[in-house]
Structure 1
């Protein structure tokens, strides 16, 4: 059954829930990628180097594990839906505050708080979605859900391409600040969640079980029993460190790479980022669908290894057309592997901590990979005269092999039934 057939097979409740979770992740990523596109403009406005502004991405990524844990804990105790509503309003407010930061220091603070809120969205949204969706087609919807991140990046690139070159304001209306003001629009999604989305049936069943047993609703799981899950959790952290290095290593410095190494204009940069995101969206859906037949592990390994032959075309081409083809194919593989992760992590996570484990492991992996862009700039300055081509090529080589190897060591849990137990 294809995507259209799977979508039609869902109930109205399942469709609304999936759409809300998809849009939450999309708009979260939209705000994050506005920063990567505006690095040079922000550096010029604050009169600092690009490396100094790149530290803002570190603080965003560094605070995401804290947010994943706190919002995940709230979701286990008080429900997925109200936690997700609070989460979306929070990251929208902090994103808007970034637009009015008077100094680079205050900008760092607001981006760190944005990371706190951003960190909670993925885990809580994925738990709500997959505890509501049917088991059949989980891989396909996993690919589509994860690619909300790509759609967010695409929207940010489209806005940058269409609007940024035409903005000429001053003061608080300089172009990058206007872009961040527009990034506050996701707060409206909370209204959709309030009126169109229902609570996770798995969480509701778990609550009824706790009531029947006389267990406090505030104690949604036994902290001591969590220790038995520690080996599985640590494995997920290592896996997600490799995955985050894979995505951030090919995305965060990509606009700067196109500007510096290839001398492209903002319009061409925005267009190429959009093309890469189209490839990512197609890859996520295609490899997610393939994971129903190849298994989650087989599909991840296949996508990661197929990224290796794309390196020359992606980084070393000499025309905009070939760079576009390379960008499409690279992100087809990178985000193709990523598309399987929402289902894979939720299937590997125990029921009592499903709102915490996937998101917390994901964001800890983000933290461990958060210095990636700073290291890439530093290594390029030391070994290649500032050119990012060799460094970004080596990044893909190393992390693609790491993703494939670590995935192979894990277990397969394709299609496991979810419960609160």
Structure 2
């Protein structure tokens, strides 16, 4: 493991385009996803569906994300990152737009299933391309910024809700979602192929190594299972602090829609700051200990986050919680790509991430069910305390490969694909 110093290197135009495309793509994904979170109570009333049933819309998206990560990831490892990413962005942009015209809940549910495929393909490929392009010495910083495309998308969805929903309703919200998607598509068409993938392709052609051989290596398999568990805990933490919160503010505390949106803006600003600062800090203090620190500090903040009743204290608690939660998440693009074998980096980080999403997909449904009987504060506390502890524990017992060299054959996996073992110490 390398503790690469944080030397500032300027990005080339191609590196900037790759990173910008990844950031915009992930922002667009989150924008569309959080449109559902913000309007699902409104959609439920319009379509005559209960809140508990409406919560299945987010479950549908999360359930299908591993499918997208698998399909687009395998394709990207075979033909390169660029073409699958362009197809993926076009696909989910169109599907998200069509949600505006859904005549009933069934059609909307099917469209959200399809959207999940596109959303699942975006993160793994975008993160792989961006992390392969940016300098290793600044990978932590760009990892933090990239992951906050998610919070930026949430922030933009909150602003769009405030500006568009009163005039065009939830259908107008979905209709405008195509704009950032097309912008991401335009940027992606200007990006060259990943040099790390091209180097790996040449090496694979010489050694005749197949992705299946790499994946079946015992170390790679063990690490895959570990990362799925880690990402399950991470997604419970993220969705557990975000998805039900707007409804908690409006239905549980009686805040107006404008006040709830104001708080959402505040805590997403906290998320963006936390992810950027702590992602950069992980370049010095390590990926694992950044995660451990953030998740443990979240436990005392949970009181402010769930028990406060005034606007000011709720805003403070939610700001601090998202600063820490997304601070931990800021590490993930770098962490997963560094732990991924060169030969399957299109597939490996995206699938582990999205399988974690799958196993956390009932979070909103569970929280709404608990809230129906015990109130929203109980729903948040009962689900988040064990999750924060799990994130800290899993990160503490894991491993990291900070500063791994991509494409050189001794990077993320650091294993002999014939099964003879690791070329460097690695526990997971």
Name the structure 1 match of 2:200.
206
The answer to whether the 8 Å contact 2:231/2:356 transfers is: yes
Measured in 1, the distance between the counterparts of 2:303 and 2:392 equals 20
Which residue matches 2:42? 41
Residue 252 of structure 2 corresponds to residue 261 of structure 1: yes
Q: The residue matched to 1:116 in structure 2 has which SS?
A: helix
Match in the other structure for 2:346: 355
In the aligned structure 2, how far is the partner of 1:343 from the partner of 1:322? 33
Q: CA–CA distance in 1 between the matches of 2:207 and 2:376?
A: 59
* Counterpart Cα distance in 1 of 2:135 and 2:359: 33
Structure 1 residue runs without a partner (length 5+): 168-174
> How far apart, in 2, do the equivalents of 1:397 and 1:52 lie?
26
Deviates more, 1:231-240 or 1:393-402: 393-402
Match of 1:304 among 268, 283, 295: 295
What secondary structure is seen at the aligned counterpart in 2 of 1:131? helix
How far apart in 2 are the matches of 1:187 and 1:65?
A: 23
- Following TM superposition, by how much is the alpha carbon of 1:81 offset from its aligned partner in structure 2, in angstroms? 0.9
Given that 1:165 and 1:267 are in contact with CA atoms closer than 8 Å, whether structure 2 keeps it comes out as: no
* SS at 1:199 equivalent: coil
Match of 1:412 among 384, 400, 405: 400
Shift of 1:214: 8.7
Structure 1: how far apart are the matches of 2:285 and 2:133?
24
Counterparts of 1:131-150 in structure 2, within 5 Å, are: 131-150=132-151
Question: How far 1:225 moved relative to its partner?
Answer: 3.4
Contact 2:20 2:187 in 1 (8 A): no
**Kept in 1: contact 2:124–2:346 (CA 8 A):** yes
Give runs of aligned pairs for residues 318-397 of structure 1, distance below 5 A: 318-382=309-373, 384=374, 387-397=375-385
TM-score by length of 2: 0.91
Deviates more, 1:64-73 or 1:284-293: 284-293
Matched with 2:58 is 57
Gaps of 5+ in 2: 1-5, 410-428
Residues 163 and 391 of structure 1, relative CA distance in 2, 3 Å threshold = same
How far 1:395 sits from its partner (Å)? 2.1
Query: Which SS does the other structure have where 1:377 is aligned?
Result: helix
Whether the aligned pair in 2 keeps the contact of 1:30 and 1:183 (CA below 8 Å) is yes
Q: Which residue of 2 aligns with 1:171?
A: none
Counterpart in the other structure of 1:192: 187
Once the two structures are superposed, the pairs formed by residues 145-184 of structure 1 within 5 Å of their partners are 145-167=146-168, 175-184=169-178
Q: Which residue of 1 aligns with 2:79?
A: 78
Structure 1 18/77 Cα, relative in aligned 2: closer, same or farther at 3 Å?
A: same
- Asked if the contact 1:239–1:407 (Cα under 8 Å) also holds between the matched residues in 2, the reply is yes
Determine the C-alpha separation between the residues in 1 that align with 2:186 and 2:166.
33
Q: Does the CA-based 8 Å contact 1:352-1:420 persist in structure 2? A: no
Provide runs of 4+ in structure 1 moved above 6 Å: none
Equivalent in the alignment of 2:30 = 29
Structure 1 residue 306 displacement after superposition: 0.8
TM-score by length of 1: 0.92
Taking a change above 3 Å as real, the CA distance of residues 420 and 84 of structure 1, as seen in their structure-2 partners, is farther
- Following TM superposition, by how much is the alpha carbon of 1:209 offset from its aligned partner in structure 2, in angstroms? 3.3
Contact 2:65 2:119 in 1 (8 A): yes
Aligned pair count? 401
Task: Report deviation, 1:233.
Answer: 0.2
8 A Cα contact 1:101 1:107, kept in partner: yes
Q: Which residue of 2 aligns with 1:93?
A: 94
| Partners of 2:211 and 2:344 within 8 A in 1 | no
CA distance in 2, matches of 1:302, 1:392: 20
Shift of 1:210: 4.3
What is the CA–CA distance in structure 2 between the aligned matches of 1:234 and 1:207, rounded to whole Å? 26
CA distance in 2, matches of 1:162, 1:325: 24
Aligned counterpart in structure 1 of residue 270 of structure 2, from 253, 266, 279: 279
Whole-Å Cα distance in 2 between the matches of residues 358 and 410 of structure 1?
Answer: 15
Shift of 1:268: 1.0
CA contact (8 A) 2:69 2:121 kept: yes
Q: Matches of 1:166 and 1:323 in 2, distance apart?
A: 28
Partner residue, 2:122: 121
Cα deviation, residue 208, structure 1: 3.1
Q: Aligned partners of 1:274, 1:222: CA distance in 2, in Å? A: 43
Deviation, structure 1 residue 411: 0.9
Provide the alpha-carbon RMSD of the alignment: 1.6
SS in structure 2 opposite 1:9? coil
Summarize deviations over 1:283-313 as a string: whole Å, max 9, x none: 0011111111211111110011111111121
What is the aligned partner in structure 2 of residue 170 from structure 1?
A: none
